[in-house]
Amino acid sequence: MSPFELAEPRSLKAALKILDANDPSVRVFGGGTALMLMMKAGVFQPTRLISLRGIEKRYAKVTSGQDGSLHIGALITLSALGRTAMVKKRAPVIVDALRTLSNVRVRNVATLGGHLAHADPHMDLPPVLIALGAQVVTAATTGSRTLAVADLLTGYFETALAPNELISEIIVPSQTGWRSAYIKLTTRAADDWPTLGIAVSLQTDGKVIQDARFVVSAATEKPLRLPSVETALRGATISDAVLARVGEAAVAEAELTGDAHGSAAYKTELLRVYAGRAVRKALAA
């Protein structure tokens, strides 16, 4: 590894000041779990790394909005996120997804902000957060903005973040009336990278589905909502026939790509079978 400068600012404002919009080799890190792998592999050689670990503690906490939303600081570790009672109660699908997200050593240091900013299409939480309708709040010296997680992720390891813009908070709206599930399919250990991820959120009275968000990941350039599946679910009462239609609609719409975790044909067959199972899992949540 080449030598680099390490900065450890004590506030978000100070971190923003030492970012350099014109120099991509200056980069922040949260847990460093993704960044260090890139550095060790030689694909990223920083001149300056800015640790966010020393900034204000409120960026590592979860608070409640008056409307029942969750406001999650971007510096929270994935382990702390999974242990937070408010998250367990209001968005249990996040805690469920975290159980098989990598291993405890990674979860103990990896941060939610780093997880989202890295934009690896195999990540487990982005599809879940998109299904929940979550947003990110960003910070820059010029001000802050709020955008949907779905709009943050623009492509393969690509985000809508400007070079001098950070994620400071993630907002999960109130889930009252919604039920959600995530299915992670792996070909090796249960906590391996997913071959396919399916996240579903349903607004339902328990019988008829009023609204739906259906997201597929790990087989596309970025997590993808499937509008045709959502249309097939809206107004439906669940039956085997409806779920079979959901599977067919999913594979007709999604163009999946293969990788080291499975071929495109294998992933397509998984989607056909598990789309309906994910809907059933959400209804039972």
Question: Rounded to the nearest whole angstrom, what is the least distance from the CB of residue 158 to ligand FAD in the complex?
Answer: 11
Q: Which stretch binds ligand FAD (CB under 6 A): 82-90, 118-126, 144-152, 259-267?
A: 118-126
Q: CB-wise, 32 or 54, nearer to ligand FAD?
A: 32
Taken in order 139, 143, 149, 150, the sign of the CA dihedral is negative
Q: Report yes or no: 19 and 163 within 8 Å, Cβ to Cβ.
A: yes
With CB under 6 A, what is the number of residues at the site for ligand FAD? 29
Cβ closer to ligand FAD: 28 or 229?
28
> Per-residue string for binding with ligand FAD, 184-213, x by CB under 6 A?
-------x-x--------------------
Question: What DSSP character marks residue 97?
Answer: H
Distance CA 117, CA 102 (A): 17
User: Which string of x and - marks every residue 54-93 that binds ligand FAD (by CB under 6 A)?
Assistant: --------------------x-------------------
Give the helix ranges, DSSP H, for the chain. Answer: 12-17, 33-40, 78-83, 85-90, 92-99, 104-109, 112-118, 125-131, 149-152, 227-233, 240-253, 264-283
Q: Please identify which residue in 16, 26, 35, 243 interacts with ligand FAD, judged by CB under 6 A.
A: 35
As measured in angstroms, the least distance from the Cβ of 203 to ligand FAD is 26
Around 249, how many Cα atoms within 13 Å sit in the side-chain half-sphere?
19
Among 14, 32, 61, 173, binds ligand FAD (CB under 6 A): 32
Comparing CA positions, the residue from 94, 123, 241 lying closest to residue 181 is: 94
Binding to ligand FAD by residue 101, rule CB under 6 A?
yes
Q: How far is the CB of 175 from ligand FAD (least distance, A)?
A: 21
Query: Please, are residues 271 and 247 in contact by the beta-carbon 8 Å criterion?
Result: yes
Best CA proximity match to 90, nearest among 176, 187, 156: 176
Residue 57 CB, nearest distance to ligand FAD (Å)?
15
Residue 236 CB neighbours (<10 A): 21
Residue ranges binding ligand FAD (CB under 6 A)? 27-35, 37, 52, 74, 101-102, 106, 110-111, 113-115, 117-118, 123-124, 161, 166-167, 191, 193
